[in-house]
Amino acid sequence: MSGFTMSTVVPTPYEQAVADVRSALADAGFGVLTEIDIKATLKTKLDVDVDPKIILGACRPQLAHAALTADSRVAALLPCNVVVSADGDGSSLIEIMDPGVMEEFTGTAELGPIADDARTRLTGVLDALTSAE
C-alpha cells in the first residue's frame, strides 16, 4: 500500500464524475450514507472559495458489520470515504480510502480478509471509472 488512498484521474468534468462514481459504487454493492460538499461548506462557514470537492461516505453493510464484529474500534474508520475533486481542464480526481488501513491501524488480523474484499470492490470502482473513458 502506498499511502492511505487509492486514486485515479478521469477526463470527466466534476458533475459527471460525481454521478459516475455514485453509479460505480452502487454497481459494486456500496450505498452512499453521507455526503459533504467541501466547496459549499467552506464557502458557508469561512467565506472562502475552493475548487469543487465532495466526500461520499460509502458503505457496504455486510462488510461494515463484519469489520465491526472483528474490531468495534473500526467504527472510527467507517464509512469508506470516496472523494471526487475537480482537477482542472475538465478532469476529475477520484480518491478512495484504502480499506487495508483498517488492519494496519488496528493490528486486528481478522480485518484482513474483510479489508481485502472491500479493497477489491473499490479497486473495481476505480477500474470501472477509468475503463469508461
* Cell triple for 6: 487509492
Would you say 30 and 80 are in contact if contact means Cβ atoms under 8 Å apart?
yes
Q: Mean of the per-residue pLDDT values for the chain?
A: 94
**In whole angstroms, how large is the CA radius of gyration of the chain?**
15
Residue 63's SS3 state is helix
Detail the DSSP E strand segments found in 41-126: 53-59, 80-86, 92-97
What share of the chain in percent tops pLDDT 70?
97
> Which residues have C-beta within 8 Å of that of residue 108, sequence separation ≥ 6?
70, 71, 74, 102
Nearest to 60 by CA among 36, 33, 83: 33
Q: Which helix (H) or strand (E) holds 127?
A: helix 111-131
pLDDT in tens, 32-67: 999 999 999 999 999 999 999 999 999 999 999 999
pLDDT at 1: 40
